[in-house]
Amino acid sequence: MAESADQVHARISESVGAGGRLPAPPHAEWDNFPWEVVDGELVPRVLPPVADEAPRAGQTADKPCPSCFGVPEERVVWEDASWRLKHFGKPSGLPLVLILEPRQHLDFGQLDDDLASQHGRIANRLVRIIEGLDHVARCHVLRYGDGSEHAHSWFVARTARLTGVIGAATIEWDDVLPPGPEDVWRADLHTVATKLANWGGEAKA
């Protein structure tokens, strides 16, 4: 059972005090972060000059694909012959953040019709399962693909009634909010794994 909004809020207040601010996340320093403070005002950063696209993981010999070189067994939540669901190794600010990826080195747009259909069915089941967890309002489904050419979809659980954490900015809060209890996180991973395995594959969490 994921933490309730009241539990999350109380844990944060205990950490930083009532009305206190959490530390800025590391991505606030990234080159692609769009905002900065100038003369006390929050403004968009100056757009950098046009440049060639950086190679993605898996495109060059000096930047191998991490998914193809082995995912640690302890990070696998569920898998079948074609797909793997994994986590990032430890709790984060949101209840769950999971990655679904094909076992073959393929990007979106390269999946054949069978694999594309499988992805759609698994994604639909994952959303249903995650949104069925206590204290989870939504499961956001995301795809970026700018860092790796190996297809991967994000499944991001949003805490119900934590009204400041909503919409497109939800994933940003994952690095801002302090991690929740590991036992709660692992129990939710187990629920997702076992329920997804009802349609096939093997629960690993």
Q: Which residue has the higher pLDDT, 134 or 21?
A: 134
Please tell me the pTM assigned to this model: 0.92
Q: Average pLDDT for residues 91-111, to the nearest whole number?
A: 97
In a domain, 53, yes or no: no
Residue 171: pLDDT above 70?
A: yes
Tally of structural domains, the chain: 1
Q: Give all strands (DSSP E) within the chain, no chain letters.
A: 35-38, 41-44, 76-79, 83-86, 97-102, 136-142, 153-159, 202-203
Residue 68: pLDDT above 70?
A: yes
In a domain, 180, yes or no: yes
Cβ 171 vs Cβ 154: under 8 Å:
yes
**How far apart (Å, rounded) are the C-alpha atoms in residues 196 and 205?**
11
Q: Average pLDDT for residues 120-148, to the nearest whole number?
A: 96
Q: Where are the alpha helices (DSSP H) in the chain?
A: 5-16, 113-131, 170-173, 182-196
pLDDT single digits (tens) 173-193: 999 999 999 999 999 999 999
In a domain, 196, yes or no: yes
In a domain, 134, yes or no: yes
Where in the sequence is the domain holding 80, given as residue range(s)? 5-16+74-203
Residue 18: pLDDT above 70?
A: no
Bridge partners of 159?
Answer: 136
Residue 126: pLDDT above 90?
A: yes
In a domain, 120, yes or no: yes
